[in-house]
A and B are shown apart, each in its own frame.
Chain A
Amino acid sequence: MLKIVNGQVYDPINGVRGAVKDICITGGKIVAEEGNKPARPGCDGVEIIDASGLIVMPGGIDIHSHIAGPKVNSGRLLCPEDHYDYFTVATPWQRSSTGYTTPGTFLTGYLYARMGYTTVFEAAAPPLKARHVHEELQDTPLLDTGCYTLMGNNYMVMKVLSDPDGSRRQERLRELVAWLLGSSKGYAVKVVNPGGVENWKWGRDKVDLDTPVPPFDVTPRQILLGLAGAVEELRLLHPVHLHANHIGQPGNYRTTLATMGALAGRRLHLTHLQFHAYEATPKGGFRSAAPQVAGYLNEHPEFTCDVGQIIFGPATTMTADAPLQFSLHRLTGNKWGNCDVEMETGSGVVPLVYRPQSLPNAIQWAIGLELFLLVTNPWQIFLTTDHPNGGPFTAYPQVIRLLMDGDYRRAQMERLHPKVKDYTLLAELDREYTLEEIAIITRAGPARALGLKHKGHLGAGADADVAIYRPQQDKEAMFARPVYVIKGGKIVVRDGQVVDSCYGKRFLVSPPAPNRLPEELEEDFAAFYSISLSNYTVEDAYVARPEVIPCA
C-alpha cells in the first residue's frame, strides 16, 4: 500500500479544488481512506509519500498525439538530424533512445512520464498497418495507451455509404466500423480530412463538405454523418475524433463552423482546432477566427476539442492528411515523405521550424492561445500540440505557463512578429488559468471525453496514476519536473527522473456488433486488398495488457 499524505489535491472530477487530502493506493488502484487510522511507514507494508506543500493531481492524459506507428516511424527515418543531439543513455531501468520532435518509443514513454503524464492516445492508425502501431505501443513504457482507427477515406466505408438503401447502408456501416475498430484494435473512430485525402490521390484539388469524391462519389458530409451515426449506434465512448477538412487554409473556419453545424446537437471531438480557425485576408493571408470558433463552441457544450498549440522551434509535421503535407513541402521546400495505404488512407511527413518572427507562425501561436482563453468551459478544450505537428509534447509545461501567467504571455508576445497584433486579439485577453482548470484540460477533461471512468481522477476505483508537483512561481518549471509520478500504483518518476520501468495497458473497445467484415464486402476485400482477410486482424499477441472499456 502506498499513501500520499498532506498533499493539496486537485481532482476536478470529484470536485476537489486544492483541499489537503490523503490518497491511498492498493493494487494499482486508488482506494477509499480507511477511517482516520494513521498509516505508519514501515508498518503493514505501507509506503508514505509526504506531499506537504505539494500539489497532487491525477496523471496527465493526452487525447491526441502521434507517438507510434507507420508515419511516426517515417518521420524518425526521414530526420536523423532530429535525433543526434537528443538521447537517453541506457540505465538498468531505462533503455537508451533518441529524438527531439520524434523520440523513439522508449524515450516517448520516459518524456511523458517525466511531465506527469500517464495515458496517451495515438491519434491515427491505418487499419492495414495497425499491427505496426501496436508493436510500437508495446515498446512505449510507463504509459497506458490506445489508438484511433482511421476511417475518413476508407474505400469500404465509402462503398457502403454509396448504397442508396438507407437502412441497409446504416447497418452495414455500423458493422464495418465495428469490424475496423476490432481488427485494428482501435479505441475510437478517427476521421482525417474526410474525402479530401482520396480526392488528392486522384490529383484533384481540395474538397468542400459537399464535393463528391471518387471512386464512389460520396461527399465528406456523408462520410462524416455516416461515421458519426455509426459511432452513436455502437455507443462508443469517444465520439468521432475529427481532423476537419481544409486544415491550415485561410478561411477554413467557415468549413469548421459548417462541419460543427452539420453535427450540432451530437457529440464530436475536433482535434487540433487551432489549425482550423483561420479567417482569410484579402491578400491571401489569414487572421484569427478563434472568436468565431470559440463562440460556437461556447454555445454547444456537446462538442469538445483539443488545441494543437504550436511551439516555436522545430516540429515534424505528420498526418494522414497527405495533401496538406504535400503543400507544406511545396511551401517550405523541406523534405517530404508520403505514404499511400492502399484502400484506406494516405499520409505524409514534413519537418519544419516555427519561428516567432514569421508572421503566419506568430498568428498560429496566438490563435491557439486565444482558443484556450476564449472557450469558457475548460471541460470542452484540452491541451495538445498535436505532437509533433505543432511542436513536441515536451512543451506542455511551457503552454501551461502561457495559460497561467499573463505577464509571461505578454512578454512572449514581444518576441513575435510585430504585426501579429493586427491579426489576432490575444493581447487583449487577460484570462489566466487556475490550477484546477489546468487539471481539467490536461487530465479530467480528456478522461471524460474519452469515456474513461477510472482515469483522470483520484476517487476510489480510479487507476493509481498520480502526479505530484512542487508549487512554483514559474509554472513551466513546476509542470516540467514533478516530484513524484505514480503509474499504476508504482513510483516511476522522482524529481523529474525515471526511477522505474513498467509497461502500461492498452485501451480497447468492444462495440455491440458482430466482429466480422460484412459479407458483401468480402469479395471486394479479396479482390482489392494485397493481403488475405484472415491476416488482416491484429492478433491478441500484439496487446500484452489489454483493457476493454465497455461501451455505454
Chain B
Amino acid sequence: MKASSDVGDESVPVRITLFLKQTPPVPVEAESINPESVTAKDRREIEDLPLWVGNSKERVGDYFRVEVEETEAQQDDDNAPLATLHLVGDLSRFKRLGWGMSRGEMLIRGSVGPHTGAFMRGGTLVIQGQAGDWLGAHMQGGKILVQGSAGNFAGAAYRGYKTGMQGGTIIIRDDAGQMLGARMRRGVIAVGGNCGDFAGFGMAAGTVVVRGAPGLRAGAQMRRGTIILLQPGELLPTFYYDCTYGPLFWRLLYNYLQQEGFALPPDYREMSFKRFSGDANEGGKGEILVCQSLN
C-alpha cells in the first residue's frame, strides 16, 4: 500500500530543464541524460548524474543548472508519467544524448554532438539546432526531429554491423551528411535539404526521402528498400529504369510525413516518379524513385 502511494507521489508530471552553464573543454559523453533517467528525481539527484568529460567522470551539475517544475504534461502511454526533459545551450560537444531512450520527450534548444538518439527505442527527441554524426544510429523506434542539419551516418550502423536503423522515424529539416540511413532495415528518414554521398547505402529495407539534391551513389549496395529523391540526381549504372508511375504508397507516406512535421507542398502528393530498381549487384530488389513531374 505504502509503496504504491509513494510511486503516485513521485510520478507527478514535471518538466525538467537543464541549462548549460559552461562549454566543456573536451568532448562529453552524456548518455545519462534522457527522460527516463531524470524522471522521479529531484534537482540534486539529477545534478549527481554522471557525465564523462574526456577521460574523467564528472557530474551533470558541474555543467548544467537544473530546474524542475510541475506541469500539466500528458501521461505517456506506459504506466508512469515521464518527465519532459528540456536542454538549453550549445551542446555540440555533448555526445550520446538520448542514447537508447525508450519513451518520454526530450527537447534540445541548441545543437548536439554525435550519437544523439542512437539505439533509441521510443519517445520523441526534438533538436532545435544542428545534430552531429550517427544521429539515431541503430534506432529501433520513436521519433527524432532535427530542425537544422545532421552529420554523417544518420540512422546508420556502427562499423561491422550488418544492420543499422531498425525502426522509427528521423526527420531532418535541413541537410544531412554522407551515409544517410546506411544499412537500415526498417523505418523512415526524411531530409528537407540536400544529402551527402551514399544515401541508403546497403539498405535492407525502409524508406529514405530526400527533398534537396542527393549526393552521388545513392542506394549503392542496397538490397531492398526505397529511396525517394524529390530532386533528380545521378544514379549508379547498376540501377535500371523501370517505368514512370505514381505509386500509391507515396500518398500514404506523404500524409504520414506531413503529420510528423515534415512539410511538403500539397502538389507533391500527386507526384509521379521514375522508378529505378537496383542495386543490381545485390539482387536489384531495392528501388529509387526519382520525382518526375508535379501534376
Complex A–B touching at CB under 8 A: yes
| Contact with B158, one of A78, A79, A81, A82 (Cβ below 8 angstroms) | A81
A313: interface (CB < 8 Å) = no
B249: interface (CB < 8 Å) = no
Q: What is the bound-complex CA distance between A350 and B24, given in angstroms?
A: 43
Q: What is the bound-complex CA distance between A420 and B160, given in angstroms?
A: 33
Residues of B within 8 A of A81 (CB): 158-161
Q: What is the bound-complex CA distance between A44 and B280, given in angstroms?
A: 78
CB distance from B95 to the nearest CB of A (A): 15
Q: What is the bound-complex CA distance between A97 and B170, given in angstroms?
A: 34
Residues of B within 8 A of A79 (CB): 160
Q: What is the bound-complex CA distance between A81 and B161, given in angstroms?
A: 6
A550: interface (CB < 8 Å) = no
Per-residue interface assignment for chain B, residues 54 to 98, with 1 indicating a CB less than 8 Å from any chain A CB and 0 otherwise: 000000000000000000000000000000000000000000000
Residues of A within 8 A of B158 (CB): 80-81, 84
Residue picked from B158, B160, B161, most chain A C-beta under 10 Å:
B160
Residues of B within 8 A of A84 (CB): 158
Closest chain B residue to A83 by CB distance?
A: B160
Q: What is the bound-complex CA distance between A78 and B162, given in angstroms?
A: 12
CB distance from A330 to the nearest CB of B (A): 15
Residue picked from A80, A81, A82, A84, most chain B C-beta under 10 Å:
A81
* Interface residue ranges of A78-108 to B (CB < 8 Å): 78-82, 84
Q: What is the bound-complex CA distance between A80 and B161, given in angstroms?
A: 8
Residues of A within 8 A of B161 (CB): 81
* Interface residue ranges of A46-83 to B (CB < 8 Å): 78-82
Residues of B within 8 A of A80 (CB): 158-160
* Interface residue ranges of B168-223 to A (CB < 8 Å): none
8 extra A-B contacts, CB within 8 A, seeds A79-B160, A80-B158, A81-B161: A78-B160, A80-B159, A80-B160, A81-B158, A81-B159, A81-B160, A82-B160, A84-B158
Ordered by A's residue number, 11 sampled pairs between the chains whose C-beta atoms are within 8 Å are A78-B160, A79-B160, A80-B158, A80-B159, A80-B160, A81-B158, A81-B159, A81-B160, A81-B161, A82-B160, A84-B158
Per-residue interface assignment for chain B, residues 108 to 119, with 1 indicating a CB less than 8 Å from any chain A CB and 0 otherwise: 000000000000
Interface residues, chain B, CB within 8 Å of chain A?
A: 158-161
Q: What is the bound-complex CA distance between A79 and B160, given in angstroms?
A: 6
CB distance from B36 to the nearest CB of A (A): 20
Closest chain B residue to A79 by CB distance?
A: B160
Residues of A within 8 A of B160 (CB): 78-82
Residues of A within 8 A of B159 (CB): 80-81
Residues of B within 8 A of A82 (CB): 160
By Cβ-Cβ distance, the 4 closest A-B pairs, closest first, are A81-B160, A80-B160, A81-B161, A80-B159
Q: What is the bound-complex CA distance between A168 and B87, given in angstroms?
A: 82
CB distance from A505 to the nearest CB of B (A): 35
Q: What is the bound-complex CA distance between A78 and B159, given in angstroms?
A: 10
Q: What is the bound-complex CA distance between A102 and B190, given in angstroms?
A: 38
Q: What is the bound-complex CA distance between A81 and B162, given in angstroms?
A: 9
Q: What is the bound-complex CA distance between A79 and B159, given in angstroms?
A: 9
Q: What is the bound-complex CA distance between A84 and B159, given in angstroms?
A: 10
Per-residue interface assignment for chain A, residues 378 to 403, with 1 indicating a CB less than 8 Å from any chain B CB and 0 otherwise: 00000000000000000000000000
* Interface residue ranges of A489-526 to B (CB < 8 Å): none
Q: What is the bound-complex CA distance between A82 and B162, given in angstroms?
A: 12
CB distance from A539 to the nearest CB of B (A): 35
Closest chain B residue to A80 by CB distance?
A: B160
Closest chain A residue to B157 by CB distance?
A: A81
Closest chain A residue to B159 by CB distance?
A: A80
Q: What is the bound-complex CA distance between A84 and B160, given in angstroms?
A: 10
Q: What is the bound-complex CA distance between A81 and B158, given in angstroms?
A: 8
Q: What is the bound-complex CA distance between A480 and B293, given in angstroms?
A: 66
CB distance from B156 to the nearest CB of A (A): 13
CB distance from A357 to the nearest CB of B (A): 19
CB distance from B184 to the nearest CB of A (A): 16
CB distance from B221 to the nearest CB of A (A): 13
Per-residue interface assignment for chain A, residues 101 to 123, with 1 indicating a CB less than 8 Å from any chain B CB and 0 otherwise: 00000000000000000000000
Closest chain A residue to B161 by CB distance?
A: A81
CB distance from A341 to the nearest CB of B (A): 25
Closest chain B residue to A78 by CB distance?
A: B160
CB distance from A334 to the nearest CB of B (A): 8
CB distance from A150 to the nearest CB of B (A): 28
CB distance from B222 to the nearest CB of A (A): 15
Closest chain B residue to A334 by CB distance?
A: B162
CB distance from A86 to the nearest CB of B (A): 13
Q: What is the bound-complex CA distance between A81 and B159, given in angstroms?
A: 7
Per-residue interface assignment for chain A, residues 206 to 235, with 1 indicating a CB less than 8 Å from any chain B CB and 0 otherwise: 000000000000000000000000000000
CB distance from A333 to the nearest CB of B (A): 9
Q: What is the bound-complex CA distance between A475 and B161, given in angstroms?
A: 34
CB distance from B103 to the nearest CB of A (A): 23
Q: What is the bound-complex CA distance between A81 and B138, given in angstroms?
A: 12
CB distance from A278 to the nearest CB of B (A): 28
CB distance from A352 to the nearest CB of B (A): 12
CB distance from A494 to the nearest CB of B (A): 27
Q: What is the bound-complex CA distance between A78 and B160, given in angstroms?
A: 7
Q: What is the bound-complex CA distance between A326 and B234, given in angstroms?
A: 35
Closest chain B residue to A81 by CB distance?
A: B160
CB distance from A91 to the nearest CB of B (A): 16
Residues of B within 8 A of A78 (CB): 160
Closest chain B residue to A77 by CB distance?
A: B160
CB distance from B252 to the nearest CB of A (A): 32
Q: What is the bound-complex CA distance between A514 and B165, given in angstroms?
A: 61
Q: What is the bound-complex CA distance between A119 and B161, given in angstroms?
A: 33
CB distance from B258 to the nearest CB of A (A): 37
CB distance from B245 to the nearest CB of A (A): 32
CB distance from A134 to the nearest CB of B (A): 28
Q: What is the bound-complex CA distance between A78 and B161, given in angstroms?
A: 10
Q: What is the bound-complex CA distance between A486 and B158, given in angstroms?
A: 40
Q: What is the bound-complex CA distance between A82 and B159, given in angstroms?
A: 11
